Amino acid sequence: MKISAFSKTYGSMTVLNIPELHFQPGKIYSIIGPNGSGKSTFAKILAGTLTADQKKKPLDSAISVGYLPQKTYAFRMSTQSNILLGNKDPKRAEYLMRVLQISGLASKRANCLSGGETARMALARLMMKQFHLVILDEPTAAMDMEATFLSEKLIQEYTGETNCALVLITHSLQQAKRIADEVYFFHNGTLWESGPKDNILSAPARPETRQFLDFYGV
């Protein structure tokens, strides 16, 4: 899957400058980097919710994209109804709720869920469908460790079953270590370093990457 080179500029400031990339189906790509390094901007442009300087999406129009932003929305209806939006497959919804341990919340109004429950509901809603590319922006940030592990297992399962390329933006280096195939390190709006997770997280080539990893305890 080819991602054409793109950039994003606000006034005279270039906040993102990305070279051509290639994502392989069935792989999880973890995007790491300090705050303000362009990770979420990268996600929004790939998802089509933000326009790059080039005025066109860097993806072929035939590529379907599923996007879970940091801030998710719960409609004023039951949790199960939220998950079934646009997809009438109750068995799939029941399976996802069971895996994420939110079956007991099926009839509860989704707008009354806690932050972690809402995050699990939103993840289940996204995974009701299949996409060529899935982008998850901090999907487990509001979850406790048990829910995080359940979600990570589901993310891996979904990626394998649907053969999608999955981009996972995370502040958790341990999460990247657990489930990513490759790690991309963003720094100052650029892709500073990328490669297999063991190479990047254990033996990075760039000193900026090593400094970031040391600061966050890897």
- Reported confidence tier of residue 73, pLDDT bands at 50, 70, 90: confident
| pLDDT tens profile 170-179 | 999 999 999 9
Q: How do the domains of the chain map onto residue ranges? A: 2-70+133-215
**Residue 72 CB neighbours (<10 A):** 18
Give bridge partners of residue 187 from the DSSP assignment: 190
Please give the pLDDT value at position 86. Answer: 78
Q: State the first-to-last Cα distance of the chain, in angstroms, to the nearest integer.
A: 30
Mean pLDDT, the chain, whole residue set: 96
| pLDDT tens profile 99-118 | 999 999 999 999 999 999 99
Is the confidence at residue 43, as pLDDT, over 90?
A: yes
- Asked if residue 113 lies in contact with residue 79, where contact means CB atoms within 8 angstroms, the answer is yes
Residues 6+ apart with CB under 8 A from 149: none
Please give the pLDDT value at position 148. Answer: 98
Tokens of 105: 């919340």
The yes/no answer on whether domain 2-70+133-215 falls in CATH 3.40.50.300 is yes
Residues comprising the chain, all counted? 218
- Reported confidence tier of residue 87, pLDDT bands at 50, 70, 90: confident
pTM: 0.95
| pLDDT tens profile 136-176 | 999 999 999 999 999 999 999 999 999 999 999 999 999 99
Please give the pLDDT value at position 80. Answer: 96
2-3 and 28-32 beta bridge pairing: unpaired
